[in-house]
Amino acid sequence: MRSSLIPHPLPGTTCPPPASRVQRVLDLVFTGKWTWRNRWLAAYFDFCSYGQVEILPSNVKVLSAPEVPCSGTIPNPQPYNDGGVFTSSSCERYDSMTKWHYWLDAWAIKTYGVNASDYHHRVMILPSGFSGTVAGCGGFAGRATAGRVSLIRTPVNNWGSGHVWWSGNNVGDLEILFHEIAHNYAMAHANVVGGCNTNDQCDHTCIMGGTGGQGIRCFNAPHNWQVGWASKPVRELGDSDLPYGNPTAVRIPAQMNGLNTSVLVKGGGMPTNRKLFLSVRLNVYSYDLPWQFWDDNVPFLLMHTYDGTDGNPYSTTVFVGEIRVGTIWRDNKSNISVRFDSWSKDSGAAVRICRRSSGEERECADGLDEDCNFLTDIEDLNCRAGASSETKAGEAVVVGSGRPTSPSRGPVSRRTPPPRPLLKQSPPSPRPPSPPSPRPPRKLAPPRKPSPPRKPSPPRKPSPPRPPPRGLGRR
Ligand SMILES: [Zn+2]
């Protein structure tokens, strides 16, 4: 990954001298020297990508930029039909946020000979307090383009670039930067059924949800699959692998144990594009910590759905279930039930997946578990005279609701202010032919942690950046 991190101060702010600001950003990426718990971005990517993404010092350029003027125009060539006029007193007017980036790109090449198109991610660090006070910014902690903003290739960048804005108030929170960079890779938010606190970033098991736990984590299974880091499920099951009432047993290793650790289920009464991912997670220090420390060493079986496709990858993942050993998850919207039978550090989780044909055990001597409560025939209370409950005493059944079932989720969130939603950008209209230059800006992903309820950014259509080619960071 090539990144360009460009801090710039506001008039009147007291900042350390430029050199030390640059060093602080470099420390954040490469040493973790002054960060909370001594974590740094390169190690975070290395950890969550299973060593497949390496951020090299030679691929990161940090520039201490001048103030972006209060108003102005971006130099030609530029993709806007309004002459490229911008203001720094509003995040909304004139599509200014994207134009600040273009202004800085022009400054970087002129002043340092640094070509921003050489970098996958152009990150602008905004002054502290900026997003909370400037009109239309809504107090975001981070924002990004959903996908690439430029498809320009250079000899050292065959992918293009995305834009990221990072609030100076949140510099140090690596999960926010990781989250925004992932938006550039066409990854949408990770939600729970019905959302939470009026936003759509509620899955505590994914960077794209980023709530609770210990404030830092890796991707959930569908995003790990989408980004290509763990692209081969340990098992893929369709209807033909899931005969009615006859549970299929699978072994699921812990997600951080390797590349092939999820189970992908299709069919079973789910909508056509829906993929149900089963994965097993437990806190793994120092970067994958979806749960509080008191749940260390507790394995959780997680269920997530993802409806994205190669043609339309920008689709929110939904956390639909989390169970512990000895419990059952039953999805009332499909015919699927799952039981987490046992756990072994060496061989992982023993799990059974079952497709229901009925809400209760109908035949008591056919060797099938029609209602998928993992009790067959006479074991099932339905088959015992006078009994009506489907569930054996002591057996916990969790009905898929998307709400975490672990009581342990602390409300800890280090996120800041409750930004506001998505700013709609009016797409610049066609411009007169001009030399290859940045393409019209695309929609911004919703800001990190919005508050008022609004729709998430519309799914992006085209050009599926089938995520970051592996090892792209290794030039
Ligand atoms: Zn986001």
152 in a structural domain:
yes
Q: Where a domain ends, among 335, 369, 399?
A: 399
Same domain membership, residue 13 and residue 131? yes
Instruction: State in Å: Cα 445 to ligand 1 middle.
Output: 6
Q: What is the pLDDT of residues 275-323, one digit of tens each?
A: 999 999 999 999 999 999 999 999 999 999 999 999 999 999 999 999 9
Instruction: State in Å: Cα 124 to ligand 1 middle.
Output: 16
> pTM for the full model?
0.82
Same domain membership, residue 111 and residue 257? no
Same domain membership, residue 184 and residue 234? no
Same domain membership, residue 304 and residue 161? no
Same domain membership, residue 234 and residue 188? no
Instruction: State in Å: Cα 332 to ligand 1 middle.
Output: 29
* Rounded-to-5 percentages of helix, strand, coil across the chain: 20, 20, 60
Q: Lowest-pLDDT range, 148-152, 166-170, 310-314, 444-448?
A: 444-448
Instruction: State in Å: Cα 189 to ligand 1 middle.
Output: 6
390 in a structural domain:
yes
Same domain membership, residue 235 and residue 181? no
Two structure tokens written together for 65? 């930029």
Same domain membership, residue 275 and residue 175? no
Instruction: State in Å: Cα 444 to ligand 1 middle.
Output: 9
Instruction: State in Å: Cα 370 to ligand 1 middle.
Output: 42
Instruction: State in Å: Cα 145 to ligand 1 middle.
Output: 9
Same domain membership, residue 181 and residue 60? yes
Q: With 90 as the cut, is the pLDDT of residue 96 above it?
A: yes
Two structure tokens written together for 168? 């100076």
Q: Where a domain ends, among 399, 423, 448?
A: 399
- As a whole number of angstroms, the distance between CA 20 and CA 256 comes to 36
Domain of 184, in residue numbers: 3-192
Instruction: State in Å: Cα 183 to ligand 1 middle.
Output: 7
Instruction: State in Å: Cα 456 to ligand 1 middle.
Output: 9
Q: Where a domain ends, among 150, 174, 192?
A: 192
Instruction: State in Å: Cα 311 to ligand 1 middle.
Output: 21
428 in a structural domain:
no
Instruction: State in Å: Cα 304 to ligand 1 middle.
Output: 18
Could you tell me the CATH number of the domain that includes residue 92? Answer: 3.40.390
Instruction: State in Å: Cα 447 to ligand 1 middle.
Output: 5
Same domain membership, residue 263 and residue 147? no
Instruction: State in Å: Cα 221 to ligand 1 middle.
Output: 18
Q: Do 40 and 24 touch, CB atoms closer than 8 A?
A: no
Instruction: State in Å: Cα 181 to ligand 1 middle.
Output: 9
417 in a structural domain:
no
Same domain membership, residue 140 and residue 49? yes
177 in a structural domain:
yes
How does the average pLDDT of the chain come out, rounded? 83
436 in a structural domain:
no
Q: What is the pLDDT of residues 174-233, one digit of tens each?
A: 999 999 999 999 999 999 999 998 789 999 999 999 999 999 999 999 999 999 998 889
- Residue 444's pLDDT is 65
Same domain membership, residue 167 and residue 242? no
Number of domains in the chain: 2
Instruction: State in Å: Cα 325 to ligand 1 middle.
Output: 32
The verdict on whether omega for the bond into residue 286 sits within 30 degrees of 0, i.e. cis, is yes
Helix (H, G, I), strand (E, B) or coil at 395: coil
Which of 229, 218, 199 has its CA nearest to residue 316?
A: 199
Amino acid at 93: R
Q: How many CB atoms lie within 10 A of CB 469?
A: 12
Instruction: State in Å: Cα 179 to ligand 1 middle.
Output: 6
25 in a structural domain:
yes
Q: Do 339 and 395 touch, CB atoms closer than 8 A?
A: no
Instruction: State in Å: Cα 355 to ligand 1 middle.
Output: 35
Q: Do 344 and 352 touch, CB atoms closer than 8 A?
A: no
Same domain membership, residue 120 and residue 48? yes
Q: With 80 as the cut, is the pLDDT of residue 427 above it?
A: no
Instruction: State in Å: Cα 167 to ligand 1 middle.
Output: 13
212 in a structural domain:
no
Q: With 60 as the cut, is the pLDDT of residue 421 above it?
A: no
Instruction: State in Å: Cα 227 to ligand 1 middle.
Output: 16
Two structure tokens written together for 281? 């997670």
